[in-house]
Amino acid sequence: MPGFDGANLPTPAEPGASPAGARNGRIIFLNGTSSSGKSSIARELLRILDGGPYFHLPVDAFHAMRARREVSSDELPHLLRRTWMGFHRAVAGMAAAGNDVVVDHVLSEDWRLLDCLGLFPARDVVLVGVRCSLDELARRERERGDRPLGLAVRQFHQVHTHGLYDIECDTTATSAVDCARQISDFLPQRPVPTAFERLMVRLRPDLLGIAPGSG
């Protein structure tokens, strides 16, 4: 382009690092089964949280970007894994650039949490457990009609097996508005070490230079 000299481009940073002078963004990480109410809570958080502005990054949006073509049963698991891995890296990139984000996730496979632990700055993650009763999950699935029946039930005993959260909420009888308020009220008094920091020690000591079993 005539007269373009690149003078206004940002200074390149190391991969995973924030631009010069910028802070890492906060990652509010909502984990729960399908139909547990994560997206509804995320929308309310964007409305009430100060600072930011926050961005809502739902994994469903990444799946929706994919071309609509038939995929073989052999190829599908690899395709889904690549999609999840790309989603994790997009979240990490947004936060590294200084953006505050709200993520809704389903930690129904162990590798997903391990991957996130290797990508997200543990001190900047607020890990939120979003719970809901089995009966209510089944009712919501029937009412929504856009999820395979039984999906939430299959995920129910998998998504919370890591056991640690900064804060938990239960949407069985609590509205998304009230859950979002609970999270917002919790943020200024969040204790350290964070749940992600404790999970790092337990599950990814290799990233901390800790010998397995010594923590």
pTM of the predicted structure, to 2 decimals: 0.86
pLDDT value, residue 71: 85
Average pLDDT of the residues of the chain:
89
66: pLDDT strictly greater than 50: yes
Instruction: Categorize the per-residue pLDDT at 15 as very low, low, confident or very high, splitting at 50, 70 and 90.
Output: very low
175: pLDDT strictly greater than 90: yes
pLDDT value, residue 148: 76
pLDDT in tens, 123-139: 999 999 999 999 999 99
pLDDT in tens, 67-118: 888 889 899 899 999 999 999 999 999 999 999 999 999 999 999 999 999 9
pLDDT value, residue 214: 55
The closest alpha carbon to 169, from 211, 117, 130, belongs to 130
The closest alpha carbon to 29, from 54, 63, 65, 64, belongs to 54
For residue 165, give every residue at least 6 positions away whose Cβ sits within 8 Å of its Cβ, in sequence order, or none: 31, 127, 128, 129, 195
